[in-house]
Structure 1
Amino acid sequence: MKLIINADDFGLSHGQNYGIIDCFINGVVASTTLLSTGAAFNHACSLAKKHPTLDIGVHLSLDLGAPLSDCHMISTLLDSTNQFNRYNLEANHIDVNPEEVYTEWRAQIEKVIAIGLTPSHIDSHHHIHMMVNIFPIYLRLAREFQLAIRFHPRKWSEQQIQQALPLLKGLRYADQFLNSFYGTTITPNFFAELNLEEGKSYEMMCHPAYLDQWIMEHSSYNIQRSVEAETLQASRTRQLIQQRGINVINFQQL
């Protein structure tokens, strides 16, 4: 059983960054995805360079932070103030020009590379990459930059899943994605109750952070982030993972 514990939102705020780094040094986080549009992007990059064994990916965004591309090149992604649109996240399609998504997301990946980091994987804020009209753009970028992906078609029909599977050939991704370490499930016992199969790989999403003003003012998911940070560094968590024979890996080891 292989488990990637990936911390999303690296670069969101200083408190988020420190929480993720401490969960890497003292806990069970092995991988993180960096938010190029985040307010604390440079701070996150500085920390990442001090810890070169932390596996870095890119947390692609269409609805958080400041867009990187010229507003005239990505007009369908922006509101009247030239900030990112807000989307119905319960849908599986968003009304945008996919080529503009490609332009913006390519800029977000290139920003990480330009600062001297080498990403190994990509996912997205609010899982927007799994919108059916955006997913082909996501795969296109994964192939261009040779990046592993996050695949979790929970809102797709069986027909859509079967049509997508051939498109994944040659790309690296965990056999199953776990988004259940969230809210009330955040305890060390989560790892005791995980239903994992021998011979399979899993990716688990998390958001550990220390609370700061940015998180408290901008995120409704706030106190839970600090609970995650404590849980992912708890000795009980490490003990359970070891007792169950779970091999914690990163995307480079897939």
Structure 2
Amino acid sequence: MPHSQVQLVVTGDDFGYCPRRNRGIVDCFLQGAISNVSLLVNAAFAKDAAELAKRHNIPIGLHANLSEGLPICEKLQKGSSLLNQDGFFHGKMGFRKMLQEMQLNMSEVEQELRAQVELFQELTGHLPHHMDGHQHVHVLPEVRDIFARVLSSHQIKFTRVPIELGLHDCSWIEPHLKDFYLQVEKDSLNSVEVFIKHDIRWPDAYIGLTTMGKNMSVSRLKNALQCSMDTILRREIRAGATAPSPIGTSLQPRCVTMELMVHPGYPSLPDEGGCGEGPDDFSQSPERLHEFHTLNSSELLEFYKEKNLRLCAFKDLCKPPFSLLK
């Protein structure tokens, strides 16, 4: 079962975080290195980012944030289970700890998610083309059910399911990060049934956990993309005799869909940006710039052409068949 084409969504996350991040993401888009962005509406420069997206016609979705900075919902700003003693979200691991200890009020999670969708619409003039979770909070237990309900009620059809092929074999990832990524994968697998139930879609393959920051290189991106394409083809060939293709017949080629999550930008200045607490260490490090240069590599852009990978946005995708998850 040959593939006529691969639709590749290259999503620049954390749009709105700071002016230098915004500028780097826009430059990446204009140079053809990314094709989609994900907006943090509670970030310090979200309004500027939304205006840049309008000016340059950049496809944009919502990067729902429950773990960093301040909430959007005014009611929750005055006191909430989502906030620590300093009045900020609990952080990436703090949020997970509070969830595990059943200390979070799920109705407040829903209020905040809905408030972020509403602000996104106010800033951009339209609903998100897709919606995922900052630091992958959207696939966590209980949160995923609320997340799916919010997407369904707003008819937002696409999300991210961060299950990456080859994750278990990546020796270059630091042990604590690998443990976190493997937990994200487990949570994502447990989210599949919930998202399907609400008719929420996602690409056939995802790449991004193993290639973040300093771990990104042209060779690793090429290997990850090729591995994903090969795996999809093998699984479809095995299933082809019994499973109909999404376009009606197992003898016809179909378009494969993939997402590459990236974080390009120019390093943040120490006191500029963030989501209420200033920019984090990753944003101030050279790792953002490293991603920027890697994504703009002529070798990588030529690889896209060679493999018939067409960069596009979530709003352009054909309906994914969930082929990797059956």
For the residue of structure 1 that corresponds to 2:228, the secondary structure is coil
Q: What are the within-5 Å matches in structure 2 for residues 90-169 of structure 1? A: 94=99, 95-118=103-126, 119-147=128-156, 148-152=158-162, 154-156=185-187, 160=190, 163-164=193-194, 166-168=196-198
Residues 42 and 71 of structure 2 are in contact (CA less than 8 Å); yes or no, is this contact kept in structure 1?
yes
Match of 1:219 among 261, 267, 280: 280
The code of the aligned residue for 1:126 comes to Q
For the residue of structure 2 that corresponds to 1:27, the secondary structure is coil
Q: 1:140 to 1:73 in 2, by over 3 A?
A: farther
How big is the shift at 1:176? 2.2
How big is the shift at 1:204? 1.1
The equivalent residue for 2:93 is: 88
1:253 aligns with 2:262: no
Aligned CA-pair RMSD: 2.5
The code of the aligned residue for 1:120 comes to H
Residues 89 and 95 of structure 2 are in contact (CA less than 8 Å); yes or no, is this contact kept in structure 1?
no
How big is the shift at 1:155? 2.1
Match of 2:260 among 191, 200, 204: 204
How big is the shift at 1:136? 0.7
Deviations 1:185-225 (A, max 9, x none): 32222342121325531111100011131479732322111
How big is the shift at 1:236? 1.9
The equivalent residue for 2:216 is: 186
Cα distance in 2 for partners of 1:74, 1:150 equals 30
Cα distance in 1 for partners of 2:104, 2:77 equals 14
TM-score of the pair, normalised by structure 2: 0.70
How big is the shift at 1:163? 4.4
Q: 1:230 to 1:157 in 2, by over 3 A?
A: closer
How big is the shift at 1:90? 9.9
1:65 aligns with 2:83: no
For the residue of structure 2 that corresponds to 1:132, the secondary structure is coil
The code of the aligned residue for 2:187 comes to W
Cα distance in 1 for partners of 2:296, 2:302 equals 11
1:177 aligns with 2:206: yes
Tell which deviates more after alignment, 71-80 or 140-149. Answer: 71-80
Cα distance in 2 for partners of 1:14, 1:225 equals 13
Cα distance in 1 for partners of 2:65, 2:195 equals 24
Cα distance in 2 for partners of 1:162, 1:43 equals 34
Tell which deviates more after alignment, 56-65 or 108-117. Answer: 108-117
Residues 177 and 203 of structure 1 are in contact (CA less than 8 Å); yes or no, is this contact kept in structure 2?
yes
TM-score of the pair, normalised by structure 1: 0.89
Number of residue equivalences: 251
How big is the shift at 1:55? 1.1
How big is the shift at 1:9? 0.1
Deviations 1:67-89 (A, max 9, x none): 11123786110122322123527
Any gaps of 5 or more consecutive residues in structure 1? none
The code of the aligned residue for 1:220 comes to D
Residues 211 and 221 of structure 2 are in contact (CA less than 8 Å); yes or no, is this contact kept in structure 1?
no
How big is the shift at 1:6? 0.5
Q: What are the within-5 Å matches in structure 2 for residues 15-94 of structure 1? A: 15-52=20-57, 54-69=58-73, 70-71=75-76, 75-88=80-93, 94=99
Cα distance in 2 for partners of 1:242, 1:215 equals 36
How big is the shift at 1:181? 2.2
Any gaps of 5 or more consecutive residues in structure 2? 1-5, 163-183, 234-254, 318-326
For the residue of structure 1 that corresponds to 2:187, the secondary structure is coil
How big is the shift at 1:42? 1.5
